[in-house]
Chain A
Amino acid sequence: MKYLYPFVVILAFTFLGELLNYFLPLPIPASIWGLLLLFAALRLGIVKLEKIESLGNTMIGLLPLLFVPPVVNLLGCWDVVRQNLLAIMGIIFLSTVLVFGISGKLSQLVIDRKGAEEDV
């Protein structure tokens, strides 16, 4: 049962995230609260990395699979989307490519300007 302890830890942080999401009037979902809390707990040494790393990485690997059902849900709103399909797809495609390019390129430029001292 070596995965039981890390699973309990991860679920506990998920639950803490749900509590914060419920009680704080901020538009931040439980998953993001949980992510930040787990990060903070690792930083503060409350949770030991070695104990949760293996299961955590396995669960991150599962993430793409979990997005299949929401894509299948497109079936549910197909009628609405179909009427404006071209415009909607155009906006999604164009904005994704532009935002990808703008955000990545600007970071790249800032990194370049700092020169070789940033040896990552």
Chain B
Amino acid sequence: MSEFIPMGGVWAVLLTCATFQLGQYLRKKTGSALCNPILISALIVIAFLVAFKIPNDTYQSSMKLTSWLMTPCTVCLGIPLYTQLQRMKRNLPAIMTGVVTGALSSLVIIGGICLALSLDESITVALLPKSITTAMAIPLVEPTVGLVPLTTSAVIISGIIGSMAGQAMCRLFGILHPIAQGVAYGTASHVIGTSRATELNELTGAVGSLSLVIAGVLTAILYPFAMMLFV
């Protein structure tokens, strides 16, 4: 297998895109949120790397193009924010109430449980900002003793939970309005939840973008205080 590795990394991009496509097909076919394309694709890629003994670093360096695209693609979320602004302007108080309370309770819930379980400082500090997007969470954790790979994983798992179970949670909690749903997706599951929300409803996606920005900035400001409180 290793003789394929120098071939410009096309195999890695093909594997990722094809398995993602399979995941989308399965979700459409089964209608089940459990068939999350990100999760299905990642699991197949992991199985493939393990089976053929290809180092993760080789895969990651072949996928440099996609990690590079992450920043400009996130910038594009400014477009639905603009097109949907009229529809959410009057609901700014509702959006702010949800996001501020959500961001605060995220820190308190995580910090509280970590303290109660007396987990190691390196874990607590890494988990605290896990509801915000990777690009915002990593710079917060990096200067501390926190485990950065754990932060990345926790952030992405939070995103996948929102993207998989978001609709079920909306029914469970009685979150019916597209704006309130957007607040929930953006505050609890950042960019991953928001990109799922955009597929469901453009307004929900736009509110998700706004919410993830506010939640991210707020968490960044409150992070040092949460560290003092819970570590």
Contact = CB atoms under 8 A, between A and B. Distances in A.
A31 B184 contact: no
Contacts of B85: 43
A24 interface: no
A57 B79 CA distance: 8
Given A35-B213, A66-B67, A107 B127 contact: no
A52 B79 contact: yes
Interface in B173-194: 173-181, 183-185, 187-189, 191-192
Contact of A31 (B70, B99, B198): B70
Given A35-B81, A108-B175, A75 B49 contact: yes
B69 interface: yes
B112 to A, nearest CB: 10
Interface in A5-43: 10-11, 13-14, 17-18, 27-32, 34-39, 42-43
Contact of A92 (B56, B103, B127): B127
Nearest to B86: A120
B105 A107 contact: no
A115 interface: no
B72 A72 contact: no
A49 to B, nearest CB: 7
B75 A17 contact: yes
A81 B113 CA distance: 17
A38 B59 contact: no
Interface residues of B, number: 113
Contact of B184 (A42, A56, A103): A103
Interface in A76-117: 76-77, 80-81, 84, 87-108, 110-111, 114
A59 interface: yes
Q: Which of A56, A66, A94 has the most CB of B within 10 A?
A: A66
A60 B175 CA distance: 25
Contact of A35 (B78, B114, B123): B78
B109 A94 contact: yes
Given A87-B117, A110-B97, 20 more contacts: A31-B133, A32-B135, A32-B136, A34-B75, A39-B81, A60-B76, A63-B192, A63-B195, A68-B45, A69-B59, A69-B66, A75-B46, A97-B169, A100-B185, A101-B169, A105-B175, A110-B94, A111-B177, A111-B180, A120-B91
The 8 closest A-B pairs by CB, nearest first: A103-B102, A104-B184, A77-B149, A107-B98, A38-B78, A34-B75, A104-B175, A71-B42
Interface of A: 10-11, 13-14, 17-18, 27-32, 34-39, 42-43, 49, 52-53, 56-57, 59-60, 62-77, 80-81, 84, 87-108, 110-111, 114, 118, 120
